[in-house]
Amino acid sequence: MIKPIVTLRKPTLLVMAVIGLGLSHANKLTAQNNQRDVNNTSQPLNLELDELVVTGTRTEKMLLGSPVKTELVTRMQIEKIHARDLTEAIEYLPGAMLRKVHGKTGQEVWLQGVDADRVAVLINGERVAASTGSAVDLSQIAALDIERVEIIKGPTSVLYGSSAIGGVINVFTREPEPGFHYSLTIDGGSFGDQNPEGTSTDIANRHVGSLVSLVDEALTYMLTFDERDSDGFKVDTEAWEQHGAIGQKRNGLARVSFNPNDNQEYTVSASIYDEDVDNLFSVNAGGKIIPFTKKEEAIRNHISATGNWLIADNDSLNVQLYHDSFTDKTNQDNANTPFMDQERDADMQASSASLQWDHHFNDHQILTMGLEGFYEELHQEQFQRTENSFRASVEVSDAKRDSLDLYVQHDAIFGRWEFVPGVRIQDDSDFGSHITPKLNALYYLETIDNDHYFRFGMGLGYRVPNLKERYFTFDHSHLGYMVIGNQQLTPEESKNLQLGWSVSNIPTLLFDIGLFYNDLDDLITTDIDPVQSSETGLQISVYKNLNKARIKGGEFSLRWLPYRNTIFNWGYTYLDAIDRATKKRLTQRPRHLVKAAIEWQFDLIKSDLSLNYQWQDKEWADLANTRDSPSWSKIDLKFNYHHKQQLTLFSGIDNLLDEQRDFSDSDDKRPEEGRMVYIGLRIES
């Protein structure tokens, strides 16, 4: 992508320079070659503080010099921890809380205590449609072709629209290197005595990923394929229940880029996600245990086209078009009946067209303007069968919405200060116009020993109700409940304040402390409707604007390189999340969260070893704060042996302490998967 670079030049100035496509590619290739040098263990570890990021301001900045605090996960880090999907790629990110998607097999992410329904997930700046109508399932995004992941915490509605009231996760895919290259990764793991067949040597988890690329003068081609296959696991091998997804999740991508000269770049890509998984569960109906199989088949097709131009010396233009189609079929089958008891078919479509223009007034000012059009629709049907009847019902009938958004941002530097005010004007087809402002600032100070970066951010968040919350009729009458949408819902709003201080002593130390305060109004949640429940004899829940929440806290992180071949990471998050109406703590928000890691590199044996630790405080399971989920800790061990520059052998133990939830307790939110031991290899050229 052709974009201007904003860098921090000592001692006092941030300078901006427009670069041509050739230099842009050279920088990318240099970064990629440096990452590939990880296989040469004579290279020392580093803190990776000189990376470029774009998500915080939508223009390129040095990681440390970005006025909007940006956290980064690089491809080198992803490969070292053997991440297979986006969930695993960001698992060790300080403050990120991974949760199981309700009723699904995948994972979602919460940032700074804000749940996943309010966190935007992007791939190359393009919005990923929520697979459940609310939250994005991160396990559907393979890690194979990820170059880096940029994370912004807190409201980013000004730059990224309605779904970003809690933050943004932006995934950037790999850029191929000159010539012909390929990569192949194969790995497999065992849950020990929890393997479904009861044999600890079985390979219950399997993964294969491949990438092929060719750069031929002005044309670039890339193909990727990734499959994660699992047999699930059984806590009790004699029982019907089987936990974890049984089946496959597959990703495929084809991309072609054309660079006719240094000032133009065009890219067309098509990707597909295919999921075919089963789950076994049981329902206690009046003392009788009824076994069920839940089967889910999902297909996502995504096509996109982008164009980038450098115009004269001061302007750059980016155009993006994409269409996302997601179909999801779920079946629930009573094992005691000869027919499929229930089927639910969902069809979600989303399209977007966007344009961004960056104008450089001089070396100290950039004006960014963008226009985005977005359209989405949702249709869902349900089919229920009994021995004597068949019933078809429409749960969401062709619900639609569209919006047209304009955003403006001015990035200006005055000596040691950088100010970035911005505003978004959103015109929604159902909720009319709304203006959302924000202001970010950075103050840079250089002392004899360290560089200091002081950040300030304030702004508003805004989120319109999604189609599921407004139109859904989730009929689970056979299990005793229903969830019903509400077309009278109003948008959610938030007021946010962020303060940060970063201290770096390159190349050995980075210390960061950040404080945040977030007031959220009219949060949408489900609440039991006593009248409808009494009339139907079912538990009827309805979406309503109920919660007024206050979430405040602090995040502290340390990255330290005490020796050439040893690096230490530590992150601590304090969270105070309160329902402002009841003064009770919000559910699923632990007060304390710790993530730490230590990594060693052994040059003589061409290998590296890392120990990753997580600890989470207890969390409340109900709004009355009478039931809780216990605290827990988890240790993962990762090992890589670089036989040659093209071959890496790796192994690991996830959940070394075998910390696992009590599956008989629905309030228990500890890890589901127990200890897993795995091995694998990666070949690349």
**DSSP conformation letters of 335-385:** TTSSS--EEEEEEEEEEEEEEEEEEEEETTEEEEEEEEEEEEEEEEEEEEE
- Helix or strand run (H / E) with residue 163: none
pLDDT classification of 130: cutoffs 50, 70, 90: confident
Residue for token pair 């050439």: 564
- In this structure, of 237-241, 531-535, 552-556, the range with the lowest mean pLDDT score is 237-241
Q: Is the per-residue pLDDT at 28 higher than 70?
A: no
Dmax (CA) for the chain in angstroms is 83
Mark 352-385 as b/e (b = at least 16 C-beta within 10 Å). Answer: bbbebbbebeeebebebebebebbbbbbbebebb
Mean of the per-residue pLDDT values of the chain: 87
Cα separation, 434 vs 43, in Å, equals 52
Q: Tell me what the mean pLDDT of segment 496-517 comes to.
A: 92
Q: Bigger pLDDT: 477 or 241? A: 241
Full domain range(s) for residue 43: 5-684
Q: How far is CA 242 from CA 201, 246, 418, 664, 674, in A?
A: 18, 8, 54, 13, 13
Name residue 448's amino acid: I
Kindly provide the residue ranges of all beta strands, DSSP E only, lying in 164-314, ordered along the sequence.
167-173, 179-190, 205-216, 219-230, 242-258, 264-285, 288-311
Cα torsion 532, 533, 534, 535: sign: positive
> What's the pLDDT tens digit per position in 165-206?
899 999 999 988 889 999 999 999 999 999 988 788 889 999
Cα separation, 510 vs 560, in Å, equals 6
Kindly provide the residue ranges of all beta strands, DSSP E only, lying in 506-646, ordered along the sequence.
509-528, 539-563, 566-579, 592-602, 607-616, 619-620, 628-629, 632-644
Tell me, what CATH number does 631's domain have?
Answer: 2.40.170.20
As for how many domains the chain has, the answer is: 1
Q: Bigger pLDDT: 474 or 154? A: 154
Burial class of residue 342, CB neighbours in 10 A (0-12, 13-18, 19+): buried
Q: Look at strands 5-9 and 566-579 and give their pairing.
A: unpaired
Q: Is 323 helix (H, G, I), strand (E, B) or coil?
A: strand
The pLDDT score that the predictor gives to residue 482 is 80
Q: Is 181 helix (H, G, I), strand (E, B) or coil?
A: strand
Q: How far is CA 95 from CA 204, 487, 575, in A?
A: 30, 34, 9
Q: Is the per-residue pLDDT at 228 higher than 90?
A: yes
Cα separation, 665 vs 669, in Å, equals 9
What φ, ψ does residue 88 adopt, rounded to 5°?
Answer: -70, -30
Q: Is 112 helix (H, G, I), strand (E, B) or coil?
A: coil
